[in-house]
Amino acid sequence: MKRQTGNVIRYAGDWVVVCPTKERAEMARTVAEAALARLGLRLHPDKTRIVNLTKGAQGLDFLGFHLLMYRSPKRPDRYYLLRWPSKRAMASIKAKVRQMTDRRYVGLSLETAVARLNPVLRGWAGYFRHGNSSRKFQAINSYVHQRMAILASNKHGLHGRYWATRFTYGWFMSLGIYRLAGVVHYKSAYALRRTVSESRVLENGMRGLKGGRWGQRGDHVGDAKKDQSDDPSLGHRQSPMYSIAQPA
């Protein structure tokens, strides 16, 4: 497929094909459909689509990250490939926090609630920390603060929407909750940068994302079955591209 259409980036059953033109992306879909048909498989009709990544026209969700080309504020002629937790990933971690701080756990101590939350927060942050995730992490930190304050209010029979003044930031920090912090992995952000049309994403099994303007992301099934970045200069410089993509 690479020789005919573009480059394939695959992890388990998810994949992206990065192509230089929309026509190549459409050809990639045709080639993929034919190859999977011989195996008794097919592209998922609701999860496979063509997206235009050129100059940030559209974004792409892959392996939990939202990828977007972002214009450099210092070099307007250059775009960088940035990534942060997708909307689905944000909703997932919030749902877990909400479930673990539900009213039915009011009989447990706050120390117990913290002990249950910390491994979940630490694991989620460990996966998403290598990217432009600081603003998303701040949103999760604020949400955890809110949920712990509401849980404490329920424990003490307090009512009203004054949890922010009753349970301050200092109180929240004293609980020992794991704080999410995002960093850019400089080695991966700048490694193997050769031309404006070539860059790579090294974390999370995404390798060899080279050049191109169009691409495809997809998923297969058996017949039986704008947030902004923290610092664009720390992203991945990348030429315009299109991607045939599966929304996460």
- In which element (H, E) is residue 214 found? strand 214-222
130 DSSP 8-state letter: B
* pLDDT value, residue 138: 94
Contact 121, 147 (CB under 8 A): no
One-letter identity of residue 15: W
Instruction: Please count the CA atoms within 13 angstroms of the CA of 33 that sit on its side-chain side.
Output: 12
Q: How confident is the model at residue 12 (pLDDT cuts 50, 70, 90)?
A: confident
* pLDDT value, residue 184: 53
Alpha-carbon distance of 192 to 199, in angstroms, equals 7
Alpha-carbon distance of 47 to 245, in angstroms, equals 7
Least confident of 65-74, 78-87, 192-201: 192-201
| Dihedral angle, C-alpha 49, 12, 81, 27, nearest 10 ° | -40
Reported as a single tens digit per residue, the pLDDT across 108-118 is 999 999 999 99
Cite the DSSP H helix spans in 46-101. Answer: 87-100
SS3 for 102? coil
pTM of the complete model: 0.71
- In which element (H, E) is residue 112 found? helix 110-128
64 DSSP 8-state letter: T
The token pair at 29 is 């879909």
Mean pLDDT across 112-130: 94
Reported as a single tens digit per residue, the pLDDT across 145-172 is 999 999 998 888 887 666 667 888 899 9
User: Based on the number of CB atoms within 10 Å of its own CB, is 74 exposed (0-12), middle (13-18) or buried (19 or more)?
Assistant: exposed
User: Helix 134-155 and helix 87-100: axis angle, to 10°?
Assistant: 20
Taking only Cα atoms into account, the Rg of the chain, rounded to an integer number of angstroms, comes to 21
User: Based on the number of CB atoms within 10 Å of its own CB, is 170 exposed (0-12), middle (13-18) or buried (19 or more)?
Assistant: exposed
